[in-house]
Amino acid sequence: MYKLIHTHADWALTWLRIVTGGVMFAHGAQKVLGWYGGSGFDAAMQGMESMGIPGPLAVVAIFTEFFGAIALMAGLLGRLMALGIAIEMIVAALLVHLPHGFFMNWLGTATGEGFEYHILLVGAAIPVIARGSGAWSLDLWLERWWKSRHADVGALHGVHVH
């Protein structure tokens, strides 16, 4: 558990996780709540299943975008949430957006959206996966709480309790 919540009090990581989580939350809220012009849960499920995505995996994807994004913004299990978002974006890029090329459909003239957005989110998620949730995160608070209760475990991993 300790390695999962381990983080550095780094503001760059904080910025990346909040922006990445915020962008992903908007997409999740479209699918779960129908906010921001979204279709809501039932229509999102139907849309994903019509693309050949099995129902249980569609639920995981939708909940990753919504609940995973909320947890990422709060810095709760940030490494795991960022990994989930990165995996979802890689799958979406490969299975849905790759045939439409690199660029987003800014002018509405293409048949679909490219995968540039997905690459950006994966790129923003990677530092959080590698280094943790950063400053002002629940992970940092949990890590400090864990170290205060398990000083002997922290010493085994080269962690010093302050």
Note the pTM of the prediction, 2 decimals: 0.88
Work out how many domains the chain is built from and give that number: 1
CB atoms within 10 A of CB 88: 23
pLDDT at 103: 93
| 107 in any annotated domain | yes
pLDDT at 162: 47
Helices (H), 34-106: 41-50, 55-63, 69-74, 78-92
CA torsion through residues 118, 99, 27, 36, sign: positive
The b-or-e profile of 65-74 (16+ CB within 10 A means b, else e) is: bbebbbbbbb
In degrees, to the nearest 5, what angle opens at C-alpha 136 toward C-alphas 130 and 29?
Answer: 80
| 11 in any annotated domain | yes
| 52 in any annotated domain | yes
| 69 in any annotated domain | yes
User: What is the domain extent for residue 106?
Assistant: 2-154
Q: What is the pLDDT along the chain (162 residues), one digit of tens a residue?
A: 778 899 999 999 999 999 999 999 999 999 999 999 999 999 999 999 998 899 999 999 999 999 999 999 999 999 999 999 999 999 999 988 999 999 988 888 888 899 999 999 999 999 999 999 999 999 999 999 998 998 765 555 555 544
| 51 in any annotated domain | yes
pLDDT at 161: 47
pLDDT at 82: 98
| 95 in any annotated domain | yes
d(CA 96, CA 113) in angstroms, rounded, equals 9
Alpha-carbon Rg for the chain, nearest whole angstrom, is 18
| 160 in any annotated domain | no
| 159 in any annotated domain | no
pLDDT at 110: 84
